[in-house]
Structure 1
């Protein structure tokens, strides 16, 4: 028995010793922001612009700590990346929102805490040409406190399908999802109605103020979550029990809203998962040197991808909510909180070739099957490719984006150019005719002489 155990341990060690991490693609939700919806503790006359929300200090700290975790794993432990930032190895992208861009910068401060050193040149070369400029006392680093600034790439929302999942049909999808049998079954279930009743009572909501919709309740929960993270007050009569049940149903309400069935999950996950395959293929084929690609995004992006990877679904969450047996499947049910992250790792085994593993919030999750956490890359690629859809067509985006004309030539200028061209042609034609008329005269003169 002991010999078998030793052989088994030796085989496992041998496989692990032949595994090399070669590429990583990570995506995370931004860190904590202020409240997005003006429903409690908010002045309706001074309602915040949700799209302009920035990271709070708590959100910055979250992303900084996540960056330190990523540094430990991919720089110190696995030696995938160089200790200092190398632009050929890493590419960071973000949606064009303040909170996601700030999250990316905070994350990178954790990954690369040592900033850039200044070159060995004379002091005057380090100053702008402004009179009176003085060199600061910050040592040999370019910026104070060893701050490192690393490029963050963004696209306008209307062009960002992978991270912002811009889609013109989303509004109608949400409206349709609120009319389905699954939505009504959950929304009008006894336990959900009891939650609404307790919530309205504890918040003192009456008449039209009352909440009786699971998606609307999630908006209130978002506000309370922000308050908890940022140290702000909660409604004084809101009980821990009610808040617990609001947390429990948060992901389900989000799935019911936008990712209620497999067709919707395939749609919204296609752009990013297609990008994953393309990036891995480019690296494998030597078309790219980037070893690490980080994407700063939103909970909607994350849920679309997680659903597309079959790690959760509205149906399995609903079954768990109603306490039906789900022992034979894997189903994430916890809400995608601030700074939640998904990481897809590509390994190479000298005997078995390429394979992928997926981490969600630092823990390996099933990939390509219900329980296995390893998947051959060719199989992973094949499974995903078969579920890709025509995103632009399904989202009515075929004629949406056109390249802007940087400089448009005025009509008068075009007409003037045509007129000059015609006059020039006319002059050359006149010269040609005159030359033809003079040729006989020259010939006669030559003969007479």
Structure 2
């Protein structure tokens, strides 16, 4: 393995620390920032970028010291507007935390003083600098005089801008907007015996939680606990105070965190077909990335994907690194020794890294890191997995037709049909046009009659004057 060369890296990470996204506890005090990346989240990803630079650029020399657009491809989700209704105010907030997290990590991966540089031949001529480096904006041309102080970096301090592509379907294939069938799966999951049984495991902790916060026990379930715990965690990363009685009760806090971790799996990744469907776009995409690299159809060496906690969970369960079943065993204390089960929540800046290597005899194998630690994959006995075996595993972990399974085929057909509401609107507008046209014709006729009558009277008046 030591004689093997690293050929491709695919990185997926959760955004950094953010402000709360649910309107509970002290979130109303942060209403203008809900869902946004905090300064702590920026620092987290900047440092992750530094760590990756040290290992993959400085030590392993996998990527060049300076950014090369042929080798790095960056993708991020972009959430739609978050509508928050608070008392009588309605707030629409664009959630840019994944984009900003990617930018922060890139700033660590390619820091200042490693940016693009301008040709020396241009810099040696103040007249040429003024002619081609200054934008055509008159006030700027008048203000900028001293071109001798320019460095050879294109941007101050050698900052390097890097493009980020938006893609929600692959990284958020678990959402109801991308997979409408999820809505029905989730409804069925919440009524299942498994859901009720697992909720029973945590009922004492839920009751204690409700008592401390003064919540109605009968109206509080997994979802309500998640709202509060999500807010508490966001607050902790801002050093804001949370309920002391909850934080200091370690057993309660651990149970709440396990509820927080297991709930998405019970909702989004419970049914066998559901588990396969949601990870299909991503697994098919990384297979394509691997194949393009092997067949030399692409020059990219690093694919960076900025996403969410649910994306990390989606991939983890798809790789069989975790499941709601193993989390239940962890809660009951019956999880087998040495078994693979990530039962802690993918915290801010959590990451999964796929590495593809090629040996001297051209054999390829895959290694997967979760938060920097190599995981046992494929047969779960080794951190190394033959590429063909890994590829077959991925293909067996997806559905053949994602659009069909997720109910997107019917949705696509509907795109070509005019919705009933649109037909009603068009009918109303058409009727309105007819009324307007009829009224215009009527008005025109009346005006003509008026003018004719008025003209006849004038003629009679003229005739009368002539007679008299």
* TM-score band w.r.t. shorter chain: 0.7 to 0.9
Distance 1:88-1:238 versus aligned 2 partners, 3 A rule: same
Runs of 4+ aligned structure 1 residues displaced above 6 Å come to none
Q: Give the match for residue 141 of structure 1.
A: 153
CA distance in 2, matches of 1:401, 1:117: 47
**1:351 has 2:361 as partner:** yes
Paired residues of 2:210 and 2:217 also in contact (CA < 8 A): no
Distance 1:401-1:49 versus aligned 2 partners, 3 A rule: farther
Q: Give the match for residue 161 of structure 1.
A: 170
**1:103 has 2:101 as partner:** yes
CA offsets per residue over residues 84-139 of structure 1, 9 Å max, x none? 00011110001123111111111100100022223332321221111131448673
Q: Give the match for residue 415 of structure 1.
A: none
CA offsets per residue over residues 394-436 of structure 1, 9 Å max, x none? 111125469x99xxxxxxxxxxxxxxxxxxxxxxxxxxxxxxx
Q: Give the match for residue 137 of structure 2.
A: 130
User: What SS does the corresponding residue of 2:312 show, helix, strand or coil?
Assistant: helix
CA offsets per residue over residues 174-198 of structure 1, 9 Å max, x none? 2211111111111022xx1111122
CA distance in 2, matches of 1:143, 1:400: 46
User: What SS does the corresponding residue of 1:188 show, helix, strand or coil?
Assistant: helix
User: What SS does the corresponding residue of 2:73 show, helix, strand or coil?
Assistant: strand
CA distance in 2, matches of 1:248, 1:290: 38
Does 264-273 or 244-253 show the bigger shift? 244-253
Equivalent residue runs for 1:232-271 within 5 Å: 232-241=240-249, 242-271=252-281
User: What SS does the corresponding residue of 1:43 show, helix, strand or coil?
Assistant: helix
Q: Give the match for residue 93 of structure 1.
A: 75
Q: Give the match for residue 29 of structure 1.
A: 14
Q: TM-score, normalised by structure 2?
A: 0.76
CA distance in 1, matches of 2:254, 2:329: 18
Match of 1:60 among 42, 64, 76: 42
Alpha-carbon RMSD across the aligned residues, in angstroms, is: 2.3
CA distance in 1, matches of 2:361, 2:309: 38
For residue 48 of structure 1, report the CA deviation from its aligned partner. 6.2
Q: TM-score, normalised by structure 1?
A: 0.79
- Stretches of structure 1 that go unaligned for 5 or more consecutive residues are 1-14, 406-449
User: What SS does the corresponding residue of 2:198 show, helix, strand or coil?
Assistant: helix
Distance 1:149-1:372 versus aligned 2 partners, 3 A rule: same
Q: Give the match for residue 402 of structure 2.
A: 391
Does 251-260 or 353-362 show the bigger shift? 251-260
Distance 1:144-1:73 versus aligned 2 partners, 3 A rule: same
Does 169-178 or 127-136 show the bigger shift? 127-136
Paired residues of 1:94 and 1:163 also in contact (CA < 8 A): no
Match of 1:39 among 17, 21, 24: 24
CA distance in 2, matches of 1:269, 1:365: 19
Equivalent residue runs for 1:353-392 within 5 Å: 353-389=363-399, 390-392=401-403
CA distance in 2, matches of 1:252, 1:339: 19
Equivalent residue runs for 1:239-318 within 5 Å: 239-241=247-249, 242-318=252-328
Paired residues of 1:316 and 1:326 also in contact (CA < 8 A): no
The number of residue pairs the alignment matches comes to 379
User: What SS does the corresponding residue of 1:294 show, helix, strand or coil?
Assistant: strand
Q: Give the match for residue 119 of structure 1.
A: 119
CA distance in 1, matches of 2:385, 2:217: 54
